[in-house]
Amino acid sequence: MGRLGLKDRLLTALSTDTPRSAKEIVKATRLDEKKVWDGLSYWWERGLLLRSETPSYEAAEVFKGRRGYRKNTRSYYLYLLKTGEKESVQIKGRKFVAFSEERRDSRGARGTSKAQSIINHLSEHSDRAFFSSDVAKALAEKGVKPRDIMATVRRYGDSVYVRGYRTDQRQTPFKEGYLLTWIDRSKTRESALEEAIQRTDAVLDKRSSSNPVVERIHQIRDVVIESTKLRDLVGVQFLQAELGCTENEADKAVDRAMQLYPDIKEVKLFNAYRYLYHASMEEEDLAAARQMKENYIRIVKGRDNRVGHNWEAVPEWFIDTFTTGARFWTQQNRTDGIDSRRITIHLMKPVGSRRNNAEVDRVWEVTPSVFAQPITYVLECKWGLVKKRYVDDFFEVLRWSKEFGVDASDGRQVRQGVLGVFAASSFDPKETVVINDEPISLASYAGRMNIQLLKATDFNEKLRDRGVDVKVTVQSICRVSQDEKQVREVLEAVWNDTSKAQDILAKLASENQKIFEFEKMLEKI
């Protein structure tokens, strides 16, 4: 096809007011890709077209056969027809400009490319390891940006060793980025990799001296190995005491330790208590250690478990009783002892210690009217004092769940029409959250995330409005009830006959006295 025919087809493809990339024009015209590139460049230089002043970037996946999919970052320009004498126009916040020598695309120019500069830097300093952020800083004068580093390294995977936090599913970067070092291909692969690992170890050891998190990670690994040799599991609470840090800092250090050292394994007892062990522990020793810890938890945490589960029935009863048209989700759980209204959801990425699944206490739907979309409420319950990090954790579970989250232009968000409800016996009144230098309450902070907070006092006010004696509270009902079923029965009875509320509670306490005595006996063992 001659130059004239190509010109006509290019200009026809650009005749709309919408800017287009070369890739989009190839698709629209079915012309050869190289001809489109050459034509766009030719007519831009001759003043018929305007081109975006800066390139756009997008993540792309390319199928490489047996090598699977490879990810890289693609940069491209947008083009549109030039109308009138204007040398530049502004469209949707993007500037389009006429040709000039300084605006010529440097990606095709001769000289050392950014990719080659990155590879040269690593090979010339093959005796050292660098974080990707340090490589970007060292080559900033050559136009290298942080996003260029890993895109280049993935293309030279056989020559560069990449190290990050590792889990069973994936590898994630350190705070400073991935750790990179050159692989000496003149040596055997095994020997070259061993040296590369030693170089990265040296950087991580040096980094730990100024990073308290890494120091805690190393201490956690030492304690886990020691406990495993003693055929014992080590709990996160024990590690917190050994590290001398807060609960949140201990949880963070444990998560990082498991990412960095895949041989540190976790077992979660009763779906609530985290214990660690080393992968070298024999199966028989692990089973015995697990049984011992479960017995210990039954002794120490028996009452807390009972009251905590009972608390879940309180908001459920009020919602079920007073919400018109509420339809609760149910599912068959792994054991008959778990309430069918407690729902297991699937996570798109790990949240805290939960990898693939998480549990929410209740889910129900309400349809406001015939023509309105249903609203889905997700309930999280916690007995005790609740802090900001519990609310944050609940929000992360919602937005990264397959059922309630959605991918949006500004990142992962909670799906429209899904509202979170966090019910706790009490929320920390002293805790404030600072946003844009403005301190706000925990309730206001939760409200900004579309999460409603429910307190025990909110339910007690409903009982007072009904005429129930002030001595009868939802907390006392939880403490004296045997299980969730009994909580619902007591609330129903108290609500229907307020004059006998105290007698109902006293009778229940007497009937369950053996349970209380047994729990106290266990606590003394």
Count Cβ neighbours within 10 Å for each residue of 96-127 and write b for 16 or more, e otherwise: bbbbeeeeeeeeeeeeebbbebbbebbeeebe
Band of the pLDDT at 110, cuts 50, 70, 90? very low
Backbone φ and ψ for 376, nearest 5 degrees, come out as: -105, 125
Task: Specify the fold of 3-108.
Answer: Arc Repressor Mutant, subunit A (1.10.10)
CATH architecture for segment(s) 212-281: Orthogonal Bundle (1.10)
Class of domain 300-524: alpha beta
Q: What is the pLDDT of residue 420?
A: 92
* Stretch 50-56: mean pLDDT: 87
Distance (Å, whole) CA 446 – CA 440: 10
Residue that the structure tokens 């170089």 belong to: 199
Q: Is the pTM of this model over 0.85?
A: no
Same fold, 3-108 and 212-281: yes
Task: Write down the H helix ranges in 230-266.
Answer: 236-243, 247-260
Lowest mean pLDDT among 48-57, 70-79, 81-90, 414-423: 70-79
Band of the pLDDT at 431, cuts 50, 70, 90? confident
Q: What is the pLDDT of residue 286?
A: 92
User: What angle separates helix 33-45 from helix 3-13, to the nearest 10 degrees?
Assistant: 80
pLDDT tens digit string along 203-238? 877 665 556 777 788 889 889 998 999 899 998 888
For the chain, domain boundaries: 3-108, 114-208, 212-281, 300-524
* Stretch 443-449: mean pLDDT: 84
Class of domain 114-208: mainly alpha
Q: What is the pLDDT of residue 464?
A: 92
Band of the pLDDT at 108, cuts 50, 70, 90? very low
**Residue 104 predicted with pLDDT over 50:** yes
Band of the pLDDT at 67, cuts 50, 70, 90? low
Lowest mean pLDDT among 111-120, 164-173, 461-470, 475-484: 164-173
* Stretch 180-190: mean pLDDT: 87
The fraction of the chain above a pLDDT of 90, given in percent, is 18
Q: What is the pLDDT of residue 2?
A: 44
* Stretch 359-367: mean pLDDT: 89
Q: What is the pLDDT of residue 166?
A: 64
Is the four-CA dihedral 94, 97, 102, 105 of positive or negative sign? positive
Distance (Å, whole) CA 269 – CA 300: 13
Residue that the structure tokens 């170890």 belong to: 201
**Residue 158 predicted with pLDDT over 80:** no
